[in-house]
Chains A and B, each alone.
Chain A
Amino acid sequence: MSRIAARFAVLRAENRGALIPFLEAGDPDLATAEAILRGMPDAGADLIEIGVPFTDPMADGPIIQAASKRGLAAGATLGRTLEMVARFRAVDADTPVVLMGYLNPIDSYGPARFCADAAAAGVDGLIVVDLPSEEADLLEADAHAHGLDIIRLVAPTTADARLPLVLNGSSGFIYYVSITGVTGTRSASDADLAAALPRLRAVTDLPVAIGFGIRSPAQAASAVRIADGAVVASSLIETLARSLDAQGHAGPDTVRLVLDQVRMLADGVRDARTREIVA
Chain B
Amino acid sequence: MNPQSQTILPASAPDADPSVPVSARLAARAEVDRADALRPNTLRTGPDERGRFGIFGGRFVAETLMPLILELDQAYEAAKADPGFRQELDFYLKDYVGRPSPLWHARRLSAELGGAQVYLKREELNHTGSHKLNNVMGQILLARRMGRTRIIAETGAGQHGVATATVCALFGLQCVIYMGATDVERQKPNVFRMRLLGAEVHAVSTGAGTLKDSMNEAMRDWVANVHDTYYLIGTVAGPHPYPAMVRDFQCVIGDEARVQMQEAEGRLPDVVVAAVGGGSNAMGIFHPFLDDPAVELIGVEAAGRGLDSGEQAASISRGRPGVLHGNRTYLLQDDHGQITEAHSISAGLDYPGIGPEHAWLHDIGRAQYVGITDDEALAAFQLCTRTEGIIPALECAHALAHVAKIAPAMRPDQIILMNLSGRGDKDIFTVAERLGVSL
Hey, which bits of chain A sit against chain B, CB under 8 A? 54-61, 65, 72, 77-79, 103-109, 129-135, 152-159, 162, 166, 177, 180-182, 185
Contacts and interface: CB of A to CB of B under 8 A. Distances in A.
Contact of B216 (A58, A103, A105, A177): A58
Contact of A78 (B68, B322, B337): B337
Contacts of A156: 64
Top-5 shortest CB links A-B: A108-B337, A105-B337, A155-B64, A181-B224, A153-B63
A106 B60 contact: no
9 contacts: A104-B338, A106-B337, A132-B60, A157-B65, A158-B64, A180-B64, A180-B227, A181-B223, A182-B224
Contacts of B50: 134
B102 interface: no
A182 B326 contact: no
Interface in B140-172: none
Contact of A152 (B60, B63, B67, B225): B63
B385 interface: no
Contacts of A159: 67
Interface in B188-236: 206-207, 212, 216, 219-220, 223-227
Interface of B: 50, 58-68, 206-207, 212, 216, 219-220, 223-227, 322-326, 331, 333, 335-340
Contact of A157 (B68, B335, B338): B68
A56 B337 contact: no
A129 B62 contact: yes
Nearest to A76: B336
Given A132-B63, A152-B63, A77 B58 contact: no
B338 A54 contact: yes
Contacts of A129: 62
Contacts of B337: 78, 104-109
B60 A105 contact: no
Contacts of B64: 59, 153, 155-158, 177, 180
A130 B61 contact: yes
Contact of B62 (A104, A108, A155): A155
B323 A134 contact: no
Contacts of B63: 132-133, 152-155, 157-158, 166, 177
Given A58-B325, A104-B339, 13 more contacts: A55-B207, A103-B60, A103-B323, A105-B337, A107-B322, A134-B50, A134-B59, A155-B62, A157-B64, A159-B67, A181-B223, A182-B220, A182-B224
Given A59-B62, A155-B62, A105 B206 contact: no
Nearest to A166: B63
A158 B224 contact: no
B338 A55 contact: yes
A134 B336 CA distance: 25
A130 B338 contact: no
A56 B324 contact: yes
Contact of A180 (B226, B324, B326): B226
A132 B336 contact: no
B75 to A, nearest CB: 16
Nearest to A137: B50
A180 B220 CA distance: 10
A107 B223 contact: no
Nearest to B67: A157
Contacts of A166: 63
A162 B338 contact: no
Q: Which of B62, B338, B340 has the most CB of A within 10 A?
A: B62
Contacts of B216: 56-58
A51 to B, nearest CB: 14
Nearest to A175: B63
B206 A182 contact: no
Contacts of A155: 62-64
Contacts of A130: 60-62, 323, 326
Contacts of A59: 62, 64, 220, 223
Given A103-B323, A104-B322, A131 B336 contact: no
A58 B324 CA distance: 9
Contact of B324 (A61, A104, A154): A104
A72 B62 contact: no
Instruction: Report which residue of B206, B331, B335 has the largest number of chain A beta carbons within 10 angstroms of its beta carbon.
Output: B206
Nearest to A157: B67
A151 B58 CA distance: 21
B62 A58 contact: yes
B119 to A, nearest CB: 39
A165 to B, nearest CB: 10
